[in-house]
A and B are shown apart, each in its own frame.
Chain A
Amino acid sequence: MRDDVLATLQAILREVIGEAWAQDVEITRATSFNHDLELESIEFVALAEKLQAAYGRSVDFTGWLSEMELDEIIALRVGDVVEFIESCPSSSKTA
């Protein structure tokens, strides 16, 4: 279950940032969205969209982000999102 969420997120992130960039980065729980992946804000939108497609409406990534200050979003790591998804009531993959 844990590895499954991480693997799904890794695959989504590779799509979002593009294979050309993804090749150079190892994506782990400790990987930072801002510092390591340099995920742009507009790419967060794509990430949220793909998470919704994968997990359905029960995973409200956008709502979760909206509760955070900008510096918290900047400090986000892959592991934080994995934990968030696992904390959602029904985070089993729908697609």
Chain B
Amino acid sequence: MPVVQQNGLSFHTQAFGAGPPAVMLHGLLIGSMTTWYFGAAPRLARSHRVLLYDLRGHGKSARARRGYDLATMVRDLDALLGDFTDEPATLVGHSYGALTALRFAMLHPERVARLVLVEAPLPPLRLPELDHFLRRPRGEMESALPDEIRHALRRGGRQALRLVDQLAFLAAESSLLADLDAEPEIGDDELAALACPLLAIYGNRSSCRPAGDRLRRVVPGAQLVLLPGGHFLPTEAAEALTHEIVRFCAGDVDG
């Protein structure tokens, strides 16, 4: 397992493919690099060199007790990207991973070739993972989970244990919830200053959808694509999502 030490933590990373660099970031709580590994990443890797990593506290990266604010997550990306490439990279993110990519692009515009934001919640507090899971009664929490995860939980066993373990740690033993509560809103003026090509992809039934409309309205030249589904497009609309990402990123290759 490729493990990279950055910011005092070990990060589980996977890189594959050849071409212009691209980094794909997953969402919080139930996410891990497999959000992309089983869908868009191998397809994008036919034209790009793709880096995947488990965010701090997720998957096989270290269980960090702190640092779930965007400023720290951006520093994680900064360090991992610096290791990966010197060229401007395309950043693809889902949910909080998309916000991390967005904040990174605001801070380091010269290092970003293009941005793909999938279901980025704006304001950050509107993160559906929180509304869906951690702040709901247990029964409702389960019914809001993506199908395959709900099935794993019902069956019990190793898959369920690991997931419950990750959720319990992040919710009870890390600063994740407090960090998200303290996360400042991203202003229109900051969004309007974005200079790289931006594709926003949202689910037509997602509670985040107004954020997509806002991105299109405020960011110069931003494209908005709506796909059938809710917040978990990487599983709900896997094929269409992959298609949109690959289509947009072809610009890196075609010039």
Could you tell me the distance in whole angstroms from the C-beta of B188 to the nearest C-beta in chain A?
A: 37
Interface membership of chain A positions 21-52, coded 1 if the CB is closer than 8 angstroms to chain B and 0 otherwise: 10000000000000000101110111001000
- B185 at the binding interface (Cβ < 8 Å): no
Is the Cβ of B42 less than 8 Å from the Cβ of A41? no
- B157 at the binding interface (Cβ < 8 Å): yes
Known interface pairs A38-B158, A42-B60; A66-B14 also in contact (CB < 8 Å): no
Looking at chain A's contact residues, the main secondary structure is helix
Could you tell me the distance in whole angstroms from the C-beta of A37 to the nearest C-beta in chain B?
A: 8
Cα A25 to Cα B235 in complex, Å, equals 29
- B148 at the binding interface (Cβ < 8 Å): yes
Is the Cβ of B37 less than 8 Å from the Cβ of A45? yes
Is the Cβ of A70 less than 8 Å from the Cβ of B16? no
Is the Cβ of B162 less than 8 Å from the Cβ of A41? no
The residue on B at minimum CB distance from A62 is: B42
Looking at chain B's contact residues, the main secondary structure is helix
Of the candidates A44, A65, A66, A70, which one forms a contact with B235 in the assembled complex, judged by CB atoms under 8 Å apart?
A: A70
Is the Cβ of A63 less than 8 Å from the Cβ of B42? yes
The number of residues on chain B lying at the interface, defined by a beta carbon within 8 Å of a beta carbon of chain A, is 25
Cα A69 to Cα B147 in complex, Å, equals 14
The residue on A at minimum CB distance from B40 is: A66
Cα A65 to Cα B155 in complex, Å, equals 23
- A73 at the binding interface (Cβ < 8 Å): yes
Other A-B pairs beyond A17-B158, A21-B158, 15, CB < 8 Å: A38-B155, A40-B158, A40-B159, A40-B162, A41-B34, A42-B34, A42-B162, A44-B38, A62-B37, A62-B41, A62-B45, A66-B38, A66-B39, A70-B148, A70-B238
**B residues within 8 Å of A by Cβ?**
1, 14, 16, 32-34, 37-39, 41-43, 45, 54, 59-60, 148, 152, 155, 157-159, 162, 235, 238
**A residues within 8 Å of B by Cβ?**
17, 21, 38, 40-42, 44-46, 49, 62-63, 65-66, 69-70, 73-74
* Nearest 7 pairs of A and B residues by beta carbon: A66-B42, A41-B34, A38-B158, A38-B157, A62-B42, A38-B159, A40-B159
